[in-house]
């Protein structure tokens, strides 16, 4: 079974925010970080249930950890039915929380 990846407006804004932050330091670093996140999200097309649960209340709300450098990123997503995964938010691991 293959899942289609959908991005919320908030997730797209997170991509922009993370890119804008990194580009101030190094454009190559910003490009590599976003490419790493996008590549990791492709895993969700086949194996969304392999990621850790983000909430005890909802087994369909999950997090994908994306290693990058000394830390990395966390992708919050929801499994919507049998064929859609909705990426809800993306944050750096050192950020407090999503939004």
Higher pLDDT, residue 19 or 98:
19
pLDDT digit string, tens, across residues 8-44: 999 999 999 999 999 999 999 999 999 999 999 999 9
74 near 88, Cβ under 8 Å?
A: no
Token pair belonging to 13: 């804004």
**How confident is the model over 27-86, as pLDDT tens digits?**
999 999 999 999 999 999 999 999 999 999 999 999 999 999 999 999 999 999 999 999
Domains, the chain, ordered by start: 4-92 (3.30.2310.20)
The confidence score (pLDDT) of residue 95 equals 87
How many Å apart are CA 12 and CA 54, to the nearest integer? 20
């Amino acid at each position: 079974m293959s899942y289609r990846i959908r991005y919320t407006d908030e997730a797209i804004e997170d991509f922009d925010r993370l890119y804008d932050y990194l580009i101030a330091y190094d454009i190559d670093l910003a490009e590599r970080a976003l490419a790493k996140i996008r590549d990791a999200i492709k895993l969700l097309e086949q194996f969304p249930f392999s990621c850790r649960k983000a909430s005890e209340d909802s087994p369909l709300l999950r997090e994908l950890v994306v290693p990058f450098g000394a830390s990395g990123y966390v992708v919050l997503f929801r499994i919507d039915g049998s064929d859609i995964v909705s990426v809800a938010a993306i944050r750096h691991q050192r950020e407090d929380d999503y939004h």
